[in-house]
Structure 1
Amino acid sequence: MRTKYPVIVVGAGFAGVETATRLSRRGVRVLLIDRNSYHQFQPLLYQVATAQLGVSDVARPLRSITRKRRWVTVLHADVTAIDAKARTVTTADGDTFTARVLVVASGAEPNFFNTPGAEENAYPLYSVKDAINFGARMVELLEDAHREPQSGDLHAVIVGGGPTGVETAGALAETFKYVVPEYFSPDLAARCHVHLVDMVPNLLSAFAEPNQKYAEKRLREVDVDLRLGVGVTEVSPVGVTLADETTIPSGLVVWAGGLKAGPIIQASGLPQGRGGRVDVGMDLSVPGFPGVYVLGDSANMIDAHGTALPQLGSVAKQSGIWAAQNIVADLKGQPRQPFRYLDKGFMAMVGRGAAVAELGRRRFRMQGFPAFIAWLAVHVALLSGWWQKVRAILTWVQDYLSNERSQVFIGTDRR
């Protein structure tokens, strides 16, 4: 079957959803395709993995998002091929769709940098399924260690000292330190250890030094073992080997070492740049490919000053809004406008009541509880759906005031 649409959007992340819904408001017919039937809020997946939030808090059905957008058609399908020149998309069912304008916002995938054993034995945190599998494995190891005290200590290793790695290390360390004694025993909590490894000598390399030092101090306060300035050379089912030839025994390894474009981009015929992503023009279209836009984690975008923009939810969301405006201009035969990114800065949670933030283009720095409140406010604003926002707020209040965990892990370990 071959069907034509004015606009096809591949990927229902921040960029894809914003593009589709904004176009619908302007009366443009859109086909939105994603392998999942839901939109997932990736910045909070580590909290799903550690049972701080439930799946329904970070995942919202696409048909719920678009049910009042009558110009958007949602297709739950796996895209197997994109022909950027012809602006066609083929799904695993063998169906082919053709667009006047094609938007590729298919996201990225973990970059294991060819580290032996990493893809097979480490857990990324880039999807709801990743978070569920990680949580199931963590509970399995806790149960085993509780049942067999003679089995030794439980070691968790986080690879990567960026925001995802820091946030995961802090959440996991607090789970071991405060939650495990409540649900298992203080003895088991004393046998649980968190290690954070990164080949660069500082945490949160994009942040200013005072915030780096604060994050390091805070993680040490919750007993995170920091191994900085040393890379990982191998991940096995029973541990991690570092470049200095030391090993950390572990059956729970989190990979937060970076992202790269997925295979759908590699086979699309689009020109690839840093991280395998597509270098786009200032208007977010792809030079040499008329009618093709690439957004979000699939693209290398730059601001008006030529500075590369980071892979952040706020960048992806704004790119979707801007692309929709330019697509409407395309359909009307009007000129496009260069993308003007409103730099809101960046932030990272380090634990309950503790975060670091650098806000705005001038990078106003915050630490501790004020940054924690700012982090909460920004993430609530980015969550999709009022019920998701309300549930997240209520759960965070409960987590902050107690050591309760009301969420459960459903699923099986992928190994």
Structure 2
Amino acid sequence: MAVPHVVIIGGGFAGISAARALRKAPVRVTLVDRRVYNTFQPLLYQVATGGLNPGDVTHFLRSLRVRQRNLDVVHEHLMEIDHDARTVRLFDGETLSYDYLVITTGVTTAYHGTKGAKENSFAVYSRSQAIAIRDALFTRLERAAVRPERHKGLSVVVIGGGPTGVEMAGALAELRDQGLEPAYPELDGAAFRITLVQRSEILKPFTPKLRDYAAAQLRHRDVALRLGAGVQEVRKDSVILSDGTELASDLTVWATGVAPHEEVREWSLPLDDGDRIRVGADLQVLGMPGVYAAGDVAATPQQLPQLAQPAIQSGAHVARQILRAIAGEEGEPFSYYDKGQLAIIGRRSAIGEVPGIANLPILHRIRPLQRIPLLRATIPLTGTIAWFVWLFVHIASLLGPRNKLTVMVGLIARYGAHLWRTPVPIVGDVPAIRPHRVARTPRTGSAPGASADA
């Protein structure tokens, strides 16, 4: 008798979590993703600012098969879902039949119709985008350094005051302060200036006290905060705010807003107004038995934050629902356990909110503890303690021992660099920049148009 076939579309947090939860199940699993690797997106800004190598935050998807023999990995795009025939068609024309289908394609950068944003700014949501930011930054620094006149350094504008924007601004400040000034003596003052733009206040999911701490830490690192005005237009060399202010920008980073991939609209699925897939309490797509959605692409009855933990937990929940369905049992509603949230600003500086003692998984069923408000209250963290918690959580969340080790070494090198005060950025392909030379009059007898340096 053939075992049920589970097809998972998307190799992000939710997709891998669902696949791994089915490791010992009597099913055949096919994981479909357009790339050969999984990306640990929470650390992409470290790649963008030269703190980590791209390979440190990516993991070879096929390596999952080493410990999961019931898993196949296919690298292709999903083009079409035939719900009646229970098949999916891939870009190369291959058709996969399924008994259970799991959509975990995640989201991508959203520009919200902002004029010039897509064309003139750098997003930081994929490996290639992070590399593009890093290479553009160092290329433009080199160009500034070879100008005949002393230049005041670059102006970098980060748009978005959520965790990604704040961590990006903080990492840029860390990079700038790690000896880049003596490394570029041709520049007058700091290698670059950083401005963080946010329509309202930064880090809105956190408490006001933690937001104030983060803002103070950014300002301490010479990051200018422009709060209270949105972005009207992004130009090649400037950013126009909604209040009419024009900010000069040699490099603009877009770190605000995400939305599902446009192709989701072609898959004949029920979508909400934001093109996210509508699911029931058990994460089954509404009106479609055997089809599930998890992670950021799913519009759940309970509003979940678009973070790694909800994706990981919802992916594992879908796997359990598939096993219940195979056993002929009713589905169970998804219950999200909030493990808290963290954001890093710089060396020995981070903020966090973690569950109170009574809310820990092994204790939350003990009713006497639940009656003590102090034990249930969320615990705020700041400074060095929050930084070490952030470091532990991110390293523990990475796939593979090699990634854990290289990330730990890379982050220690970056944030411990104050001990030796030398620049330690990782750089990529920066083209040779020829210094500007003043043209000289050719000598007598020289061929017309010949260079004096020829």
User: 1:17 — aligned with what?
Assistant: 16
Which residue number in structure 1 is paired with residue 401 of structure 2?
386
Specify which of 408, 412, 428 is matched with residue 409 of structure 1. Answer: 428
Structure 2 CA distance, aligned partners of 1:188 and 1:46? Answer: 26
Aligned partner of residue 178 in structure 2, secondary structure: helix
Q: After alignment, is 267-276 or 118-127 more displaced?
A: 267-276
- Distance, in Å, in 2 between the alignment partners of 1:312 and 1:188 is 40
- 1:314 maps onto 2:333 in alignment: no
Distance in structure 1 (CA, Å) of the matches to 2:425 and 2:198: 32
Q: Give the Cα–Cα distance (whole angstroms) in 2 for the partners of residues 80 and 123 of structure 1.
A: 27
**Matches for 1:85-124 after TM superposition, within 5 Å:** 86-124=85-123
CA contact (8 A) 1:176 1:192 kept: yes
Distance 1:55 1:8, change over 3 A: same
**Distance apart, 1:68 and its partner CA:** 2.4
Evaluate the alpha carbon distance shift between residue 212 and residue 406 of structure 1 in structure 2; reply closer, same or farther with a 3 A threshold: closer
Take 2:284 and 2:127, find their aligned partners in 1: how far apart are those partners? 30
Q: Structure 1: any 5+ residue segments left out of the alignment? A: none
Asked whether the equivalents of residues 260 and 276 of structure 1 are also in contact (C-alpha less than 8 Å), the reply is yes
Counterpart AA for 2:198: D
Shift of 1:77: 1.0
Q: 3-state DSSP class of the match of 2:267?
A: coil
Tell me, in whole angstroms, the C-alpha distance in 1 between the residues paired with 2:273 and 2:217.
33
Task: Deviation per CA, 1:151-179: give whole Å up to 9, x if none.
Answer: 55411111110000000011012212224
Report the Cα offset of residue 328 of structure 1. Answer: 1.2
Counterparts in 2 of 1:223 and 1:338: CA distance versus 1, 3 Å? same
Distance 1:410 1:74, change over 3 A: farther
Alignment partner, residue 371 of structure 1: 386
Q: Which runs of 4 or more aligned residues in structure 1 lie more than 6 Å from their structure 2 counterparts after TM superposition?
A: none
How far is the alpha carbon of 1:207 from its aligned partner?
A: 0.6
Matched, 1:345 2:340: yes
The one-letter code matched in structure 1 to 2:252 is V
Q: CA deviation at 1:117?
A: 0.7
Looking at structure 2, the residues matched to 106 and 162 of structure 1 have their Cα atoms a distance apart, in angstroms, of 22
Taking the aligned partners of 1:411 and 1:147, their CA distance within structure 2 comes to: 14
Alignment partner, residue 320 of structure 2: 325
Hey, what does 1:242 align to over in structure 2?
Answer: 241
Q: Is the 8 A contact 1:198 1:230 kept in 2?
A: yes
Cα distance between partner residues in 1 of 2:123 and 2:52: 18
Q: Deviations over 1:366-392 (max 9, x none)?
A: 111111111111111111111111111
CA contact (8 A) 1:82 1:264 kept: no
Distance in 2 between residues matched to 1:63 and 1:181, nearest whole Å: 43
AA aligned opposite 1:273? D
SS of corresponding position for 2:38: strand
Q: Structure 2 residue aligned with 1:398, among 413, 424, 440?
A: 413
Asked if the contact 2:141/2:153 (under 8 Å) is kept, the reply is no
- Tell me: CA distance 1:179–1:333, structure 2 relative to 1, closer, same or farther (3 Å): farther
Per-residue CA shift, 1:77-113, capped at 9, x if unaligned?
1223334565432222122222111100001011100
* 8 A contact 1:84–1:268 mirrored in 2: no
53-62 or 17-26, which deviates more: 17-26
Summarize the Cα distance change of 1:356–1:186 in structure 2 as closer, same or farther, 3 Å threshold: farther
TM-aligned CA distance change 1:84 to 1:377, over 3 Å: farther
Aligned-partner Cα distance in 1 for 2:183–2:326: 59
CA distance in 2, matches of 1:183, 1:213: 33
Q: Secondary structure at the match of 1:275?
A: coil
Deviation of 1:268 after TM superposition, in Å, equals 1.6
SS at match of 2:99: strand
Does 2:65 correspond to 1:70?
no
Match of 1:7 in 2: 6
What corresponds to 2:157 in structure 1?
A: 157
> What is the CA–CA distance in structure 1 between the aligned matches of 2:27 and 2:330, rounded to whole Å?
18
Q: 2:232 corresponds to which residue? A: 233
- The more displaced of 228-237 and 353-362 is 353-362
Match of 1:270? 269
Whole-angstrom CA distance in 1 between matches of 2:131 and 2:267: 31
Query: 1:210-230, CA deviations, whole angstroms, 9 ceiling, x for partnerless residues?
Result: 000001000001111111010
Cα offset for 1:333?
1.6
1:206 aligned residue? 205
The 3 A distance-change label for structure 1 pair 133 and 346 is same
Report SS of the residue matched to 1:325. helix
Q: What code does the residue aligned with 1:388 have?
A: N
Query: Any idea what SS the aligned residue of 2:247 has?
Result: strand
Partner of 2:451: none
**Deviation string, structure 1 residues 293-335 (Cα, Å, up to 9, x no partner):** 1111111235xxx4x1101111111111111111111122222
Q: 1:21–1:66: 8 Å Cα contact kept in structure 2?
A: no
Residues 145 and 311 from structure 1, CA distance in 2 versus in 1: closer, same or farther, beyond 3 angstroms?
Answer: same
Give, in whole Å, the separation in 2 of the partners of 1:410 and 1:376: 29
TM score, norm. by length of structure 2: 0.85
Judge conservation of contact 2:176–2:192 (CA < 8 Å) in 1.
yes
CA–CA separation in structure 2 for the residues paired with 1:289 and 1:257: 33
